[in-house]
Amino acid sequence: MPTPTKGPRLGGSPSHEKMMLANLSASLFEHRSITTTVTKAKRLRPYAERLITIAKKGDLAARRQVVGKISAKNSTNQAIVHELFTVIAPAMAQREGGYTRITKIGNRKGDNAPMAVIELVMEPVSPKQAVVKEAEQAAAAPVEEESVEEVAEDTQVEEVTEETPAEETPAEETSEETEDK
């Protein structure tokens, strides 16, 4: 359940913000990339990623949830929901999260508002990451065994050093001791 935002909302009222996020997410799913202000992009990211996660389930209940969020009452938004479930969600099946990317592009000319491009990350997850993780785990396991052996060798060396008595070094003479002599 999303936590309510404190402070000013996009567009004024909560209902206006809700409709604005629905329209922005519909545009994002339709065009795969949109240019908007940084604030709107940051608010849109969790909303759109939540819709993609719901769409990855692929069942009728998930479709009805997304239709309710995007308010797909016209044929354009119905086509967007269909595309979300048939094209975008299967492309994101291997990805655990992070379906969107926000790139800041500078300020708008008219009012100097900071702008950003929010886009869907359609690149497939590289299998190298999984192989690298397995290799790191495999490499880490023998290292732990070696470190246990090294610790055992170190304890044997310490035992040997304990047998020989350590010689005490003479303390430094202080200025008071030199005056007494």
10 touches 16 (CB < 8 A): yes
Q: Is it the case that residue 112 has pLDDT exceeding 70?
A: yes
Find the DSSP H helices in 10-169.
14-31, 38-57, 60-70, 75-83, 89-91, 127-163
Q: Compute the distance between CA of residue 42 and CA of residue 102 in angstroms, rounded to an integer.
A: 8
Q: What's the whole-number mean pLDDT along residues 129-133?
A: 66
Q: Compute the distance between CA of residue 2 and CA of residue 53 in angstroms, rounded to an integer.
A: 14
Position 138 confidence tier, pLDDT thresholds 50, 70, 90: confident
- What integer pLDDT is reported at residue 74 of this predicted model? 76
Q: Is it the case that residue 83 has pLDDT exceeding 80?
A: yes
**Statement: the pTM of the whole predicted model exceeds 0.75:** no
Q: Compute the distance between CA of residue 116 and CA of residue 121 in angstroms, rounded to an integer.
A: 15
Position 75 confidence tier, pLDDT thresholds 50, 70, 90: confident
> In a 3-state reduction of DSSP, which class is residue 10?
coil
Please, which residues have CB within 8 angstroms of residue 77's CB and are 6 or more apart in sequence?
26, 70, 71
Q: Is it the case that residue 158 has pLDDT exceeding 70?
A: no
Q: Compute the distance between CA of residue 38 and CA of residue 44 in angstroms, rounded to an integer.
A: 10
13-22, 68-77, 105-114, 171-180, range with the lowest pLDDT: 171-180
pLDDT in tens, 58-71: 999 999 999 999 87
Could you give the percent of the chain with pLDDT greater than 70? 71
